Amino acid sequence: MVTIQVGKKKIQGARGSNLRETLLAAGVPLDSPCGGRGSCGKCKVRVLGEVDPPSIAERELLDSGLKLGLRLACRVTIRGPLAVELLSSAEESAPSEEVISRDMQLGAAVDIGTTTLAGYLVDLPSGSVLATASRLNPQASYGADVISRLAYAQEGGSQDLTEAVRRGVADLLVDLAGSLGQIRKLVLVGNSAMHHLWWGIETSSLAQAPYRPASTQPISEPASTLGLSLHPEAQVYFLPLVAGFVGADTVAALLATGLDEGHARRLLVDIGTNGEMVLAANGKLLTCAAAAGPALEGAEISCGMRGIQGAIEAVNLDDGINYKVIGDVEPLGICGSGLVDLLSELLRVGAVDHTGRLLGQAEFLAQGGAAKLASNLLEDGFQVAVGPQGPIVLTGRDVRKLQLAKGAIRAGCEILLSAGGIAYQELDEIILAGAFGSYLSPKSALRVGLLPPVELERIKSAGNAAGEGGKLVLVGDQQKKRAEEIARKLEYIELAGRGDFQERFMEGMLFD
């Protein structure tokens, strides 16, 4: 065994073993959407010490980064003691400063997102939130999205996925409360795949058409049966599901936003790795899910990254290139909100046409484009910045991926409106929810056509509505009943079987 220094932490690894696997086994968070195949480039770390020379995949993906000591953890074989610096992928949650006394009765609500676990620690008698924290879902090392996780489960990996998510939630609870013994209630929300994998329910019906959950019922179990050492009487409750791609997170988001109450015509759009939409209109609650893919969250985009330190989160091309980086550090890549902003700005200045084609330098100038921006139009895309890891470029291929994603979301919105018998002009409000939706600039979302063209003032952000809904259920039994009622009332519209989906999807891909 050799010692590996990871930040302030020391872990042990075997000579000849793989660095990514060693880091994950030691609980070090590491993005690896391709599951360690050496194709996504997201498991980048800086390595100092005894390792094998770079592989071909690393030479291709890292290029000049190799000189700076960058390596792909999944391609590195440990040969001796090492120091590893985690780059953009590492995420530590911030523990609470609040004092937790021994006699407090605690509860926790966790939103099990495909990418991130978001948790709240609550003082049960008062309902006040004592701490919040988030962590990478450890299942991410088996694949970036729901589809690849389900595929892994089909290949016999269900137990790995169940263990990973339970371990991740337990670690998150320790981040929140310091220990587990005082937690008397745990409420969970998440999509249908996360729900099944959490409970260890067979996922094959979710993995193939018509993509139905094995069960949509709410489930409650003693924590002890799940191997969680919470308070001896603690119960774990997972909100009900609606359909294969409309899960407990959507039910919780509805609960938190009160979308089902009153007479307003409202559309909730939750953009995560998948897009779920709900329309409340004329006494009905209609829902659908669109396979947007992970592009809007920065995955599968050449310089894309999650919304963490180092990510460009906002772009403005008014007077040259201006951007804002999370944490005010040098830029490492672009996250979802930055990508939508950038695309929106490129459309506005005429560097991307209505079909999504990036113009060449000469063509852009001939059409009156600003000279300041023209020099950033390279052969392989638009260069936004140069960071310590090299140029940050949005390529034509990236634009296509973003178009596919926004086309799917927009088509889902249009189909709900038509099924609800209303025009977009009649919408009182569009609520953006989800990890990505909350940070998205409504103005940019409208300009790229991700949302129906309502007035800007009608778009509201709901933050992590799913987590908020989980919190409500944690402190109120009445809310639990309401959540179950919402799940029963939601009418699910399957997009895959509809003749008009393809047409609306093609229209939705274009820009106005």
373: Cβ contacts below 8 Å, ≥ 6 apart? 317, 320, 321, 349, 351, 364
333 binds ligand FES, rule: CB under 6 A: no
The residue (of 148 and 438) whose beta carbon lies closer to ligand FES is: 148
What phi and psi, each to the nearest 5 degrees, are found at residue 135?
-145, 160
| Shortest distance (Å) from residue 168 CB to ligand FES | 18
What phi and psi, each to the nearest 5 degrees, are found at residue 440?
-70, 140
The residue (of 76 and 259) whose beta carbon lies closer to ligand FES is: 76
Q: Coil, helix or strand for 121?
A: strand
What phi and psi, each to the nearest 5 degrees, are found at residue 509?
-75, -25
| Shortest distance (Å) from residue 15 CB to ligand FES | 20
The residue (of 23 and 394) whose beta carbon lies closer to ligand FES is: 23
CB 223 within 8 A of CB 172: no
The residue (of 44 and 406) whose beta carbon lies closer to ligand FES is: 44
303 binds ligand FES, rule: CB under 6 A: no
| Of 94, 471, 71, 493, nearest in space to 289 by CA | 493
The residue (of 40 and 112) whose beta carbon lies closer to ligand FES is: 40
Cβ count within 10 A of residue 172: 23
| Shortest distance (Å) from residue 33 CB to ligand FES | 6
| Shortest distance (Å) from residue 64 CB to ligand FES | 17
Which of residues 62, 72, 186, 290 is near ligand FES by CB under 6 A? Answer: 72
36 binds ligand FES, rule: CB under 6 A: yes
258: Cβ contacts below 8 Å, ≥ 6 apart? none
Which of residues 11, 19, 24, 34 is near ligand FES by CB under 6 A? Answer: 34
The residue (of 72 and 187) whose beta carbon lies closer to ligand FES is: 72
Tell me how far apart the alpha carbons of residues 279 and 166 are, in angstroms, rounded to a whole number.
33
| Shortest distance (Å) from residue 30 CB to ligand FES | 8
List 404's β-bridge partners, or say none. Answer: none
Which contiguous run of DSSP H or E holds residue 22? helix 19-25
Which of residues 28, 45, 62, 74 is near ligand FES by CB under 6 A? Answer: 74
| Shortest distance (Å) from residue 40 CB to ligand FES | 4
Which residue in the block uniquely carries the two structure tokens 């220094």?
5
Window contacting ligand FES (CB under 6 A); options: 32-40, 269-277, 397-405, 423-431:
32-40
433 binds ligand FES, rule: CB under 6 A: no
Tell me how far apart the alpha carbons of residues 182 and 100 are, in angstroms, rounded to a whole number.
10
| Shortest distance (Å) from residue 126 CB to ligand FES | 44
CB 222 within 8 A of CB 234: yes
Count of residues that bind ligand FES according to CB under 6 A? 11
CB 177 within 8 A of CB 108: yes
| Shortest distance (Å) from residue 423 CB to ligand FES | 44
Tell me how far apart the alpha carbons of residues 255 and 249 are, in angstroms, rounded to a whole number.
10
49: Cβ contacts below 8 Å, ≥ 6 apart? 80, 81, 82, 83
Window contacting ligand FES (CB under 6 A); options: 36-44, 175-183, 412-420, 491-499:
36-44
The residue (of 36 and 310) whose beta carbon lies closer to ligand FES is: 36
Which of residues 18, 32, 93, 114 is near ligand FES by CB under 6 A? Answer: 32
Tell me how far apart the alpha carbons of residues 479 and 260 are, in angstroms, rounded to a whole number.
13
User: Mask of contacts with ligand FES, 38-67, x by CB under 6 A?
Assistant: xxxxxx------------------------
The residue (of 145 and 270) whose beta carbon lies closer to ligand FES is: 145
| Of 76, 66, 100, nearest in space to 21 by CA | 76
| Shortest distance (Å) from residue 19 CB to ligand FES | 10
Residue 277 DSSP one-character state: E
Structure tokens belonging to residue 328: 């005010």
84 binds ligand FES, rule: CB under 6 A: no
Window contacting ligand FES (CB under 6 A); options: 28-36, 154-162, 306-314, 353-361:
28-36
149 binds ligand FES, rule: CB under 6 A: no
The residue (of 55 and 383) whose beta carbon lies closer to ligand FES is: 55
70 binds ligand FES, rule: CB under 6 A: no
End-to-end CA distance of the chain: 60
Instruction: Please state whether 293 falls in left (phi above 0), alpha (psi between -120 and 50) or beta.
Output: left
Q: Strand locations in 258-374, DSSP E?
A: 266-271, 275-281, 284-290, 311-316, 322-325, 333-334
107 binds ligand FES, rule: CB under 6 A: no
Q: Coil, helix or strand for 206?
A: helix
Binding site for ligand FES (CB under 6 A): 32, 34, 36, 38-43, 72, 74
